[in-house]
Amino acid sequence: MTRVIYIGIDDTDNLESVGTGRVARGLGKRIEELGLGNSLGVSRHQLLVHPEIRYTSHNSSKGLAIESTAALADFFEPCIEYMKSCWQEGSDPGLCICEQMQLSPEINEFGARAEKELLSKEEAYSMAQKHGIFLRELGGDGGGVIGALSAVGLRSTGNNGRLVEVRGIRDLKGIVTVSEILNRSGIVSVHDTEGNVLGKDEQIDSLDWIRPSLINWQPVLRVTRQADDQGKARWIPAERAFRNTGGNRND
């Protein structure tokens, strides 16, 4: 029976390495190569930024959703092996793997709390044990288990975060119509920030960086109106790239 497996990872990087987003995208690709399932994309979830929390750039965790008929346990070792191969000095990676039936509003609430509260490893492990969820630290002080469990809780709501990996989004450059976006990527709809659906002939200035939001479990591109350098109004993505000062990347 096909069902969805959720995987959360966090804190895999340092200032010189590639970001956790790229690690998560590579993990999704590896899972598909092994025939374990079909990736439904990688999501980015913004957690609390606080002086007492160690993080590399913006304290975001990553969530994967995988359509699969494989046994849950078949994911454990491949995911551990892949993450260990990506380990970076100074990182504190955490890994969480579960399926929909293990999730509860309590896990979703844990993720929501991580967006605004300081949480502990002990609470994360206690929550995972209570629900029979696989949660493992893979280096450093293991603080990434908090973000990993949070990513699973937030991704599984179907209405949190932006998708940093969806079919075709990294090939959308320059000015593109809504029709082109829908035909060339996994994005299912283009909305303005009020939720109104744009017509298929509307033109979007992609700014060479398209990242849809996760809305009702679907990739939806949110856009907003902004004047260009000549004062002409144009549609641009509502989600914008962070400009990091560290050595790595935007997701």
Model pLDDT, residue 91: 80
8, burial (CB in 10 Å: exposed 0-12, middle 13-18, buried 19+):
buried
Angle of the 76-85 helix axis to the 20-33 helix axis, nearest 10: 140
Class level of CATH domain 3-162: alpha beta
**Residues carrying CATH 3.30.70.2200, the chain:** 3-162
How far out from the chain centre does Cα 46 lie? 9
What stretches of the chain show up as alpha helix (H) in DSSP? 20-33, 76-85, 105-114, 121-131, 144-155, 178-184
Tracing tokens 């949110």 back to the chain, one arrives at: 222
The C-alpha atoms of residue 217 and residue 213 are separated, in whole angstroms, by 9
Report the pLDDT value the prediction gives residue 60, as an integer from 0 to 100.
87
Phi and psi, residue 17, nearest 5°: -95, 175
Instruction: Tell me if residue 54 falls in helix, strand or coil.
Output: coil
Q: CA 133 to CA 135: how far, in whole Å?
A: 6
**What confidence score (pLDDT) does residue 232 get?**
81
> In a 3-state reduction of DSSP, which class is residue 147?
helix
pTM over 0.85: yes
Torsion from C-alpha of 241, 248, 143, 240, nearest 10 degrees: 0
Asked if residues 57 and 242 have their Cβ atoms less than 8 Å apart, the reply is: yes
Q: pLDDT tens, 29-65? A: 999 999 999 999 999 999 987 665 655 556 789 999 9
3-state secondary structure 193-216: CCCCECCCCCEEECCCCCCCEEEC
pLDDT < 70 regions, the chain:
13-18, 50-58, 242-250
